[in-house]
Amino acid sequence: MGFLVSFSFFFLAIVINQSTVVGQTTAESVIEFPKNDIRDVRQVIGQAVNVPNLNIVRDDITVLSMNRKSSVVYYSSVTSGTFRYIQIHYNNGVTEYNENWSYR
């Protein structure tokens, strides 16, 4: 009987032990995931492929991403027929994001 009671206490203690860690790791992984960065860089790339001075704006985005956000960003855009293809690469050392984006 004592054996069963002590086992049940043991399992309850494991639940207590893990609960705080679960909360912390969840919050940390949500903070670390650069959702806003990716969203924002996608939006500006959507505008940046339409400017006349493509290379200068791409240098702006690449250099500023590296210096201010510690992330590697590169994109390219190809027009083929009536379609336009945009490739986006994003990597901040923890999260990597690649996207192929095409529209007419």
Q: Using CB under 8 A as the criterion, which residues of the chain lie in contact with other proteins when the complex forms?
A: 2-3, 5-7, 9-10, 12-14, 16-17, 19-24, 26-28, 30-31, 36-37, 40-41, 43-44, 47-48, 51-53, 56-57, 59-61, 63-64, 67-69
Minimum CB separation from other proteins for residue 79, in Å? 18
Q: Shortest gap between Cβ of 49 and other proteins (angstroms)?
A: 11
**How far, in Å, CA of 98 to CA of 86, rounded?**
11
44, with CB counted inside 10 A (0-12, 13-18, 19+), is: middle
Query: Half-sphere exposure of 102 toward its Cβ, with a 13 Å CA cutoff?
Result: 9
